[in-house]
Chain A
Amino acid sequence: MQRMQILTKDELAVWTWLVSKGIGNAMYGLSGMIGCELAVTGLSLKQIAAKDAAELLGGPENMVVGIYLTISGDATGHLMLAHDPKIAFELIDMMTGQPLNSTRHLGEMERSVMGEMGNITGSFFLNALADATNMTLTPSPPAVMIDMAGPVLDVALTKIMQEQDEVLVVETAFGTANRQISGTFLVMPTMEFLRAILKHSFFTSIKC
């Protein structure tokens, strides 16, 4: 098995700092889009077996709306924004100016709204990382899925498992002050992504 190298203390500190900066920017972008302020309520970095990754989204059979983007450019990786379907529908209502509980399924228009949310989150996150490291990081067009957490995560895990059996994941929970809207933002870098981004971080004195 190709066991992932565990990051050194310094590398972990740099990665944590970069991710926090990226996620702060992503929440700023997302807040602007949905018109209310979102805050990070929990952020953790985990190294877990790929087979256990669905537990991050409530277990393999838990229904979620997942917005998936891949990262390309100077490094590759995977981003997944996941919501409980009920909350995803509420977000769509908020963004389209409809009364709450108007949205009950994901049609073409609703998928497009969710995709736009993924675009904003992904590009704001990657812009912050790219700025801090002088790298080119581009998000792919978003893919919106409504299904069980297992199948939704499969799209990213199959690519990751071509290289490794474990996944280094940044799990972010966020919500509004009254926590009515919450979601999970997963950042799943490939080892190549981590190596590239850490190398760039060390060589380009980070603008802390």
Chain B
Amino acid sequence: MLNTLDRTTVAGLGEICVSREPGVTLACLGLGSCIGLCAYDPVARVAGLAHIVLPESNHNESSKVSGKYADIAVPLLFAEMCKHGAVKSRLVVKLVGGARMIQSAGFDPVFEMGPRNLEMTKKALAAEGVRVAAADTGGNLGRSLWLEVRSGKVLTKTTGTVPREL
């Protein structure tokens, strides 16, 4: 389990959080079709988390929430982490979320953002030359995740289950 004395910083929809404070845990609470992109440099002990909402920006970069689009969030998260002393080649990346929340017939698949978010996030990671070390994605249930800055440990919890280490 995580250290309960840690201070939790929550990345809301479209937000990016980066920390190198050992007493901090970064978290995404209640991910559905969104992606929680966790990155950790085990040498510099820098942790980063992006709460990705949509796959593509279509060059609309006017949004204030910088982590909203997968194609922008991935390079931006890495750049922010590098500013804090991380080195891109050392990053351990884990993906959580991307669920298909609607299972009803009659709903346009355009409402299924989860699989599209996953695909675009993986594509953006590949473009950065970063591979995914572990993932807890897909399905049709929500998830929460916690990333401990001290250790890089990632815990995920799917609705109705207990947290487990990823």
The answer on A and B forming one complex is yes
Interface residue ranges, A against B (CB under 8 Å): 1-2, 49-52, 54, 59-61, 63, 68, 70, 115, 140-145, 147-155, 157-159, 161-162, 165
Say yes or no: is B83 at the interface (Cβ < 8 Å to chain A).
no
Interface residue ranges, B against A (CB under 8 Å): 12-15, 29-34, 53-54, 62-65, 68, 99, 101-107, 111, 113, 141-144, 159
Of the residues B12, B62, B142, contact of A147 by C-beta under 8 Å: B142
User: Cβ of B15 and Cβ of A152 under 8 Å apart?
Assistant: no
Residues from chain B with a CB closer than 8 A to the CB of A61 are 29-30, 144
Shortest A205–chain B CB gap in Å is 35
Measured CB to CB, the nearest residue on chain B to A2 is: B62
User: Cβ of A155 and Cβ of B101 under 8 Å apart?
Assistant: yes
Shortest B94–chain A CB gap in Å is 19
Known pairs A147-B142, A151-B101; list 17 more (Cβ under 8 Å). A50-B13, A50-B14, A59-B29, A60-B30, A140-B106, A143-B102, A143-B104, A147-B101, A148-B144, A148-B159, A150-B31, A151-B30, A152-B142, A154-B30, A154-B33, A161-B53, A165-B63
User: Cβ of B14 and Cβ of A161 under 8 Å apart?
Assistant: yes
Measured CB to CB, the nearest residue on chain A to B112 is: A155
Q: How far is the CA of A165 from the CA of B63 in the complex (A)?
A: 7
Q: How far is the CA of A77 from the CA of B149 in the complex (A)?
A: 40
Asked if A152 meets B104 with Cβ closer than 8 Å, knowing A2-B62, A159-B111, A165-B64, the reply is: no
User: Cβ of B99 and Cβ of A150 under 8 Å apart?
Assistant: no
Residues from chain B with a CB closer than 8 A to the CB of A147 are 32, 101, 141-142, 159
A-B contact pairs, 12 of them (CB 8 A): A51-B12, A51-B13, A51-B65, A52-B12, A61-B29, A143-B102, A145-B101, A152-B101, A154-B31, A158-B53, A161-B54, A165-B68
Residues from chain A with a CB closer than 8 A to the CB of B33 are 151, 154-155, 158
Of the residues B32, B63, B106, B107, contact of A151 by C-beta under 8 Å: B32
Asked if A51 meets B32 with Cβ closer than 8 Å, knowing A1-B63, A141-B106, A158-B53, the reply is: no
Of the residues A59, A70, A143, A154, contact of B34 by C-beta under 8 Å: A154
Of the residues A51, A52, A150, A165, contact of B142 by C-beta under 8 Å: A150
Shortest B56–chain A CB gap in Å is 10
